[in-house]
Structures are given as C-alpha cells and as structure tokens.
Amino acid sequence: MPKTQSHPNGWNKHIHYSNLEGQCGQSCPCCRAEVYLKGIDEGAWWGACTICMKTNNKKNKKYKT
C-alpha cells in the first residue's frame, strides 16, 4: 500500500483530525509524532504520523528517514 504524502482535506496543524470526527491525544498519530519529536515520549514513534515526522524532520533532526 503506498504511503500518503500529505494529510487529507480538512486536517489542520492545530486540531489535526478533530474536525474530521477524530480525536487528538494518544490515539492521534499527529499528536504522537509531536510528543516524540519534542522528546516527551520516546515510545510515541510507534504509531506516529509519518507525514508529521518527515515534515518536522527539517526542524528536528531526531527522526531519521
């Protein structure tokens, strides 16, 4: 299955999938990427949004693509 290169229409960087009937928090892949890249939770890389990880890689060199 090919990986998506961008978030779907309706997604935004502040509330992620909330306006698409999703929830932010531990089950949100974008939130998981954020806490991993900030160094808050090393285990959050598992299930983290690959789009956010790659996008934010320019700001934080921790994630290796």
State how far the Cα of 38 lies from the Cα of 19, in Å rounded to an integer.
Answer: 24
Tens digit of each residue's pLDDT, the chain (65 residues):
456 688 888 888 888 888 888 888 888 999 999 999 999 999 999 999 999 998 876 555 555 54
SS3 28: coil
